[in-house]
Amino acid sequence: MTRSSRRSGLVVITLAGAMALTGCGGGSQPPAASDTTTSSTTSTTSSTSTSSTPDTSTSSTTSTSSTSTSSTSSTSSTSEPSTSGDSAVITRRLPGAEVASIVFPAAGFSKYDSPRDVAEHFAEDYIGFTDPRIGSFQQGDSRSGEVPVRPTRRGPVTTVLVRKMSDQRWYVIAATTPQIEITRPRASSRITSPVRVTGRASAFEGNVLVQVRRGTAGKVLGQAPVTGRGDGVLGPYTGRVRFTNPGSGRGAMVYLIDSPKDGSIWQAAAIPIGFTR
């Protein structure tokens, strides 16, 4: 059979089938089929459209929410309200040399625009003087100086060294007293546990408490007593202080002499240090 004759036969069969369906009252079927097709198409289109729209909306909403959260987090981490006065703590990156020289508060987190204020909070909140007498700021160069601190009106002087850093805020860079000399470790050096301490001291019964501290709050990571002389003359001390080593970051070595009267803090010295493994 030729290709042309096959096509003719298919046409005849198709027409015959259609006439048979019409004669049997099936004329209503095509519309039904059409309705079904339309319904199916509409349903499919609607489903596809509905599915597509939420996905796009959800994605957009999530992206916006994420961006908003990120922005908020970034802002809150760079601005912290002060607990006193109207000033705010603005965290800024400081040069490495400045960071390594700071004892209090943590680098980049100072709220102090007065050298006397930072010395007072250092004496009370960090060292732990009960009721210190804060003297007048004695300027050295244009960005640094010292503030004398006494435990009582006639008590011995602890000299708090302060400096204005590049964030235009004041920090404590050390504290000294004539009764404590620190030979080792050196200021701004990095230490590991146990840290060897040497120097000279004169204290009640020769006792000096040496602490390793970290952070603005001055968390004590470890401490140990050393003994100098107790007769008013500086005498050598040596010892080792074991501490929980954070392995990185900055902190301070703090040296404390107690009052012979009531055991309160009488004098103090402090130097900045860093931690290493």
Query: According to the model, what pLDDT value does residue 215 have?
Result: 87
Domain assignment present for 98? yes
Query: According to the model, what pLDDT value does residue 185 have?
Result: 98
Query: According to the model, what pLDDT value does residue 81 have?
Result: 35
**Contact (Cβ atoms closer than 8 angstroms) between residue 213 and residue 220:** yes
Query: According to the model, what pLDDT value does residue 8 have?
Result: 41
Q: Which residue has the tokens 């390594």?
A: 100
Query: According to the model, what pLDDT value does residue 131 have?
Result: 95
Predicted structure pTM score: 0.69
- For residue 193, what is the domain's CATH number? 2.60.40.2550
d(CA 218, CA 252): 8
Domain assignment present for 12? no
Average pLDDT of adjacent 10-residue blocks, the chain of 277 residues:
42 37 40 38 37 39 35 33 39 90 96 97 97 97 97 96 97 98 98 98 97 94 98 97 96 97 96 97
Q: Is 104 in the same domain as 59?
A: no
Query: According to the model, what pLDDT value does residue 118 have?
Result: 98
Q: Is 40 in the same domain as 121?
A: no
Q: How many domains does the chain have?
A: 2
Query: According to the model, what pLDDT value does residue 76 have?
Result: 31
**Contact (Cβ atoms closer than 8 angstroms) between residue 239 and residue 218:** no
Domain assignment present for 22? no
| Closest by Cα among 268, 249, 255 to 100 | 249
- Count CB-CB contacts under 10 A for residue 188: 17
| Closest by Cα among 190, 173, 176 to 105 | 173
| Bond before 236 cis per omega within 30 degrees | no
- Please give the residue range of the domain that contains residue 76: 30-81
List 80's β-bridge partners, or say none: 89
